[in-house]
Amino acid sequence: MTVGKVSTIPPQGTKIVYIKRVKGIQPMRTTTKAQALEQFRYNWNVSGSTDKVAKREAWGIFTDELCREGYITMKKYESWSNPF
């Protein structure tokens, strides 16, 4: 199959590997609260929003995603207070 000038069929001999995600088993990456705050502040400044209530809620959503993706542990998620 060709889309425009690009073929979507892999070259002969190319091995396609599918990665199976197993729920509850994921590599743990450690992120400190300082690193998370630095990233959140950068993201918030780029967004341009000045709403303080939205900022507090966005922090909660941000830490929730960090926990779900395995960047922080559940213990960190539950113990980090909202700095805003």
Three-state DSSP state, 31: coil
Single pTM value for the model: 0.65
At residue 3, what is the residue type? V
Q: pLDDT for 10-41, tens place per residue?
A: 566 655 555 455 555 555 568 999 999 999 99
Helix residue ranges per DSSP H, 1-84: 33-47, 52-68, 74-79
**Per-residue model confidence (pLDDT) at position 41:** 95
CA 9 – CA 49 distance, rounded (Å): 44
